[in-house]
Structure 1
Amino acid sequence: MSLVSAIPTCSPAIARAHFRRRLALETDCADVAAALRAGAPDFVLLHAVGSEAAFRKRHIPGALHLPARGITAERLGAWPADTLFVVYCAGPHCNGADRAALRLAELGRPVKVMLGGLTGWADEGLAFAGEI
């Protein structure tokens, strides 16, 4: 028996609930890129880390720079309460997107994290906005 199969799988019902929960909290670079290419995305994309200078240098097209520390009820007042926010950070080594997602959730806003962040975007071969 391999290490893969040594621990039995859960029931399909448990797996379905688990993966539905994950997809309710996460999205990926390809899906975000497809929505942006289609125009008029149904979410606000937030670049959730770094300085303004770093954001200007390289970010995902259409993203707004709003790190977790800047997410306030007043700042979010610019969008309707049911606006979906998609947050990303530098990549798997960064927790800025999780911090921003937590802050948005604490303020009662719908949120998903874009898996991979800037690293994932680059891995997909997608173009960046900025000065580079």
Structure 2
Amino acid sequence: MPSAVAETPAASPEATAAYYARKLAFETDCWDVHASLAAGRDDFVLLDVRSPTLFAQTHIPGSINLPHGKMTAHRMSSWPADTLFVVYCAGPHCNGTDKAALRLARLGLSVKVMIGGMTGWADEGFSFESSEATAAA
């Protein structure tokens, strides 16, 4: 009798490769975002989709505060149409990134979710900053 792990057969290597390639098209992680920012690779815009108050208290350096409710076609036209947006919120317990990703995709924009959000960033030991910043107009 197989173990609980082996009871359901593993997917084929081809199916596994397709699944993870697709998954990585939707997500990035804190480590990759941090490494990209540290290397000056600014080929994406990092959006903090939490409230302006939470953003002012603490946020990821280099991010812009833009709650998902303020993501309109007019507001997003500030960036070139081929911009890649990376969105984050509080952490795995928050669906703000999902709402932001959905809104951006419906506007025809490229987006990835930074899995882990603020919680993941802290877990990696990366630094935060605070500011008097408010939400993007």
The verdict on a shared fold, with TM-score over 0.5 as the criterion, is yes
* C-alpha separation in 1, matches of 2:20 and 2:115: 14
Residue 16 (1) aligns with residue 17 (2): yes
1:1-132 to structure 2, matched below 5 A, reads: 1-49=2-50, 51-130=51-130
The CA deviation string for residues 41-99 of structure 1, in whole angstroms up to 9 with x for no partner, is 100000012x2121011100010111110000000111010000000010000000010
Question: After the TM superposition, which of the residue ranges 88-97 and 38-47 deviates more from structure 2?
Answer: 38-47
Distance (whole Å) between structure 2 residues aligned to residue 20 and residue 99 of structure 1: 22
- 1:23 is paired with a residue whose SS is helix
Give the aligned residue type for 1:101.
A
Q: State the one-letter code of the partner of 1:32.
A: V
Flag structure 1 segments of 5+ consecutive residues without an equivalent. none
Aligned-partner SS, 2:128: coil
Instruction: Provide TM-score, normalisation by structure 1.
Output: 0.96
Tell me the C-alpha RMSD between the 2 structures: 0.9
1:112 is paired with a residue whose SS is strand
Structure 2 unaligned segments of length 5 or more: list them. Answer: 132-137
Counterpart code for 2:121: W
Q: When the two structures are aligned, how many residues end up with a matched partner?
A: 130
Shift of 1:40: 4.2
Distance, in Å, in 1 between the alignment partners of 2:34 and 2:4 is 36
Quick one: which amino acid aligns to residue 63 of structure 1?
S
